[in-house]
Structure 1
């Protein structure tokens, strides 16, 4: 299985800290936004219905390692890779690049769960319709959209 997805994001003022560089916590927001865009590229969502149940993907682990700072107005290229599919979980790697240099690398492990209102969250095997979409994804990747309205301004 080789799911790969690419997207871009412009660093906004709200993403930066007092030093004028991207605040470390914002990379987790960037990972989540790229993950959601990847799901949409597959025709799926992080919040879907299956057999009357709401299926969602709570986080089991989240981590990010930082190599170089990035600043306001920089363009981030975000590459999403599905590294592992378990029976009930998926593990993603996020490679962040700016100006051709790797600036950070993050990872998320998420669990496939039934998340019905008023019920305890419970992990379930990944439904077949999701597994089929992941397996059918073009391994060369899909270029996603830039967040917000910045797409036309990116060189």
Structure 2
């Protein structure tokens, strides 16, 4: 995946943020029909979510005070509109649809370089801590993390 530019702006009718990132469809992202394989859309959405978090000084996984924290996904879906092909440049617009007590729900609007809708995906991640390899539990999103999710990019 080749990253291009990142930007951000306010969503209409919402205090929550939209973030955009651009990715090029590489040859290895395509299938025998020459179109982007459906599974790659989930990878592109994950990378866009990670870019969104990094732009806010967060990550999908980090250590603090000897505890591992993160946002594992609990739900993912994607509706496909138009095929994406090798060398297409896709813009993934990530919108935070909801920040709950323990979870964050994202919408991913994916368009090609011509502005055509390629796919619409959704991911829900839950804030968790891990105290060991066999112990992961969901916890409330702390105020400092919530402020970064709701605020502008760093």
Tell whether the structures are fold-level matches, with TM greater than 0.5: yes
Q: Which residue of 2 aligns with 1:123?
A: 138
Q: Which residue of 1 aligns with 2:9?
A: none
Structure possessing the higher relative contact order (Cα contacts under 8 Å, 6 or more residues apart): 1
Unaligned runs of 5+ in 2: 1-14
Task: For 1:104-115, list aligned pairs within 5 A.
Answer: 104-115=119-130
What is the number of residues matched between the two proteins?
139
TM-score under structure 2 length normalisation: 0.85
Q: CA separation in 2, counterparts of 1:33 and 1:53?
A: 24
Looking at structure 2, the residues matched to 131 and 54 of structure 1 have their Cα atoms a distance apart, in angstroms, of 17
Aligned-residue CA RMSD (Å): 1.4
Could you tell me which of 61, 64, 72 is aligned with 2:86? 72
Q: Residue 48 of structure 1 aligns with which residue?
A: 62
Using the TM superposition, give the Cα deviation of residue 128 of structure 1 relative to its aligned residue in structure 2, in angstroms: 1.5
Matched residues in 1 for 2:82 and 2:76: separation? 19
2-side partners of 1:51 and 1:85: how far apart? 24
Deviation above 4 Å: which 4+ runs of structure 1? none
Matched, 1:102 2:117: yes
Q: Structure 1 length normalisation: TM-score?
A: 0.85
Aligned mates of 1:77, 1:118 — CA distance in 2: 36
